[in-house]
Amino acid sequence: MASVTFDHATRIYPGSETPAVDQLNLEVADGEFLVLVGPSGCGKSTSLRMLAGLEDVNAGRILIGDRDVTDVQPKDRDIAMVFQNYALYPHMSVADNMGFALKIAGTPKAEIRQRVEDAAKILDLSQYLDRKPKALSGGQRQRVAMGRAIVRQPQVFLMDEPLSNLDAKLRVQTRTQIASLQRRLGVTTVYVTHDQTEALTMGDRIAVLKDGLLQQVGTPREMYDTPENVFVAGFIGSPAMNLGDFKVADGKANLAETHIPLSRATLDALTPDDNGHITLGFRPESLDTTTQDEEGSFPVTVNLVEELGSDAFVYGQLANAEAAEAITSGAGESQMIVRVDPRRPPLKGDTIWVKIRQGEQHHFSPATGERLPS
Partner 1 sequence: MPAALQITAAAPDPALLDLPWHIPLEEWPEDLLAALPRGISRHVVRFVRMSGSVIAIKEIGESVAYREYALLRDLDRLDVPSVEPVGVITGRTSPTGEPLDSVLITKHLKFSLPYRALFSRQLAPDMATRLIDALAVLLVRLHLIGFYWGDVSLSNTLFRRDAGAFSAYLVDAETGDMHQQLTRGQREYDLEIARVNIIGELMDLEAGGLLQDVEDTVLIGEMLVQRYNELWRELTQEEEFSSEDRWRVSARIQRLNELGYDVGELQMTTDFDGTTVHIQPKVVDAGHHHRRLMRLTGLDVQENQARRLLNDMDTYRADTDRLGDDEEYVAHDWLNEVFEPAIAAIPRNLRRKLEPAEAFHEILEHRWYLAEKAGHDIPTADAVASYVRNVLPDRPDEEAILELDTATLRAISDTDTQIGS
Residue whose C-alpha is closest to residue 189's, from 300, 180, 327: 180
Residue (85 or 310) nearer to partner 1, CB: 85
Residue (84 or 180) nearer to partner 1, CB: 84
The residue type of 229 is: N
Beta carbon of residue 81, minimum distance to partner 1 (angstroms, whole number): 8
- Give every CB contact of residue 328 below 8 A, 6+ residues apart in sequence: 234, 242, 243, 244, 334, 335
Beta carbon of residue 106, minimum distance to partner 1 (angstroms, whole number): 9
Residue (89 or 351) nearer to partner 1, CB: 89
Burial of residue 273 (CB within 10 Å: 0-12, 13-18, 19+) is: exposed
Beta carbon of residue 311, minimum distance to partner 1 (angstroms, whole number): 24
Residue (88 or 367) nearer to partner 1, CB: 88
Q: For 61, which DSSP code?
A: E
Beta carbon of residue 206, minimum distance to partner 1 (angstroms, whole number): 23
How far is it, in rounded angstroms, from Cα 287 to Cα 244?
14
How far is it, in rounded angstroms, from Cα 320 to Cα 300?
8
Residue (165 or 310) nearer to partner 1, CB: 165
Three-state secondary structure readout of 138-150: HHHHHHHHHHHHH
Residue whose C-alpha is closest to residue 155's, from 94, 57, 66, 44: 66
Residue (98 or 223) nearer to partner 1, CB: 98
For 73-95, b/e burial (b = at least 16 CB within 10 A) is eeeebbbbbbbeebebeeeebbb
Interface residues with partner 1 (CB under 8 A)?
13-15, 52-56, 73-75, 84-92, 96, 100-101, 103-104, 133-134, 141, 164-167
How far is it, in rounded angstroms, from Cα 43 to Cα 21?
5
Beta carbon of residue 140, minimum distance to partner 1 (angstroms, whole number): 12
Residue (90 or 349) nearer to partner 1, CB: 90
Beta carbon of residue 156, minimum distance to partner 1 (angstroms, whole number): 15
How far is it, in rounded angstroms, from Cα 253 to Cα 272?
16
Beta carbon of residue 281, minimum distance to partner 1 (angstroms, whole number): 30
